[in-house]
């Protein structure tokens, strides 16, 4: 391999299922940039070695996925304000000789809502289902854009309350309500503008969190961050009630596009990235 070719990639365990390599390589080829994007299968015990060898392997940037988004932090020189707020990193790049940890997940989600569904969260009532790592990134990005209210619904109520506390730390004025899944009927569903599923329900099975869809306003947008070859059951249920939907590939595309710009300093060629992703999924 010629010396000038730089290496990018996604680091995770497992990582073989990731669509990031095909998406990023299509973008790199489109712009004729001297990079190759790989999948790095790194087990937790081997993280230190991976980080130590970055420069000798000619790696100049990488994405981070499960289970390393938090444990990578002590190995980095600097965090962006987003990564600091979220306590998690999905993008690492070299800047002036320092390894910088960033998080493009939350803003990638918002960008996808805007570009793909023409939806802005400002002054809207939002329901977020789930309170795990993915929910945290989305909730913090949403909370920074002045929605009217946020409901967090989670199977384990205590985790929803922890996330509520974190959000109130960055936006004291935002009304944040927490409910367990059993209390789902307490929401005034007809007032909700956006429902986001961040739980892993629907990832491996044909199941879905049950929403009283009949009570929803006809203009409600329904989003699921799980991406599967066909629409998730959650989105199919919403479609049955003629609600608008926002599929999970959107967040994957836009978090990737934001990361691409950090890695290369070039504007991401979105059309080719989207086409490549959809070819894999549809």
Residues marked active site are found at 69
Binding piece for ligand ATR, criterion CB under 6 A, among 199-207, 229-237, 256-264, 274-282: 199-207
Q: Is 161 in the site for ligand ATR (CB under 6 A)?
A: no
Q: Is 156 in the site for ligand ATR (CB under 6 A)?
A: yes
Q: How far is the CB of 76 from ligand ATR (least distance, A)?
A: 19
CA 144 distance to own-chain centroid: 16
CA 266 distance to own-chain centroid: 21
How would you write 186-229 as a 3-class SS string? HCCHHHCCEEEECCCCCCCCCCCCCCCHHHCCCCCEEEECCCCC
The residue from 159, 236, 239, 244 that contacts ligand ATR (CB under 6 A) is: 159
Q: Is 251 in the site for ligand ATR (CB under 6 A)?
A: no
The residue from 91, 104, 154, 223 that contacts ligand ATR (CB under 6 A) is: 154
Residues 6+ apart with CB under 8 A from 160: 131, 152, 153, 154, 178, 179, 180
Q: Is the peptide bond before 14 cis (omega within 30 degrees of 0)?
A: yes
Q: Is 247 in the site for ligand ATR (CB under 6 A)?
A: no
Structural tokens at position 279: 């070819």
Q: Is 83 in the site for ligand ATR (CB under 6 A)?
A: no
Q: Is 106 in the site for ligand ATR (CB under 6 A)?
A: no
Binding piece for ligand ATR, criterion CB under 6 A, among 9-17, 128-136, 186-194, 242-250: 128-136
Whole-angstrom distance, CA of residue 196 vs CA of residue 140: 13
- Residues counted in the chain: 282
Q: Is 201 in the site for ligand ATR (CB under 6 A)?
A: yes
Q: Is 134 in the site for ligand ATR (CB under 6 A)?
A: yes
For ligand ATR, the binding residues (CB under 6 A) are: 130-135, 154-156, 159, 198-201
């Amino acid at each position: 391999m010629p010396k000038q070719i730089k290496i990018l990639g996604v680091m995770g365990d497992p990582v073989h299922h990731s669509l990031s390599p095909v998406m990023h390589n299509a973008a790199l080829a489109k712009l004729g940039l001297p990079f190759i994007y790989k999948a790095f299968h790194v087990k937790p015990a081997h993280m230190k070695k991976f980080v130590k060898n970055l420069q000798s392997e000619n790696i100049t940037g990488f994405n981070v996925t499960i289970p390393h988004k938090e444990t990578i932090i002590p190995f980095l020189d600097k965090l962006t304000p987003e990564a600091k707020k979220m306590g998690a990193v999905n993008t690492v790049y070299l800047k002036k000789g320092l390894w910088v940890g960033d998080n493009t997940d939350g803003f990638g989600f918002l960008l996808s809502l805007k570009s793909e569904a023409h939806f802005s969260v400002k002054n809207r009532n939002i329901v977020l289902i789930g309170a795990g790592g993915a929910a945290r990134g989305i909730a913090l990005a949403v909370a920074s854009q002045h929605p009217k209210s946020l409901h967090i619904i989670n199977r384990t109520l205590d985790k929803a309350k922890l996330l509520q506390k974190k959000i109130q730390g960055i936006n004291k004025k935002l009304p944040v309500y927490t409910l367990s899944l059993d209390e789902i009927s307490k929401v005034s569903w007809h007032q909700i503008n956006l429902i986001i599923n961040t739980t892993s329900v629907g990832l491996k099975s044909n199941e879905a969190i049950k929403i009283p869809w009949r009570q929803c306003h006809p203009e409600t947008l329904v989003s699921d961050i799980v991406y599967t070859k066909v629409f998730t059951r959650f989105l199919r249920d919403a479609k049955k009630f003629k609600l608008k939907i926002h599929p999970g590939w959107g967040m994957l595309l836009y978090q990737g596009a934001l990361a691409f710009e950090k890695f290369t300093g070039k504007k991401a060629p979105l059309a080719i990235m989207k086409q490549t992703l959809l070819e894999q999924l549809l």
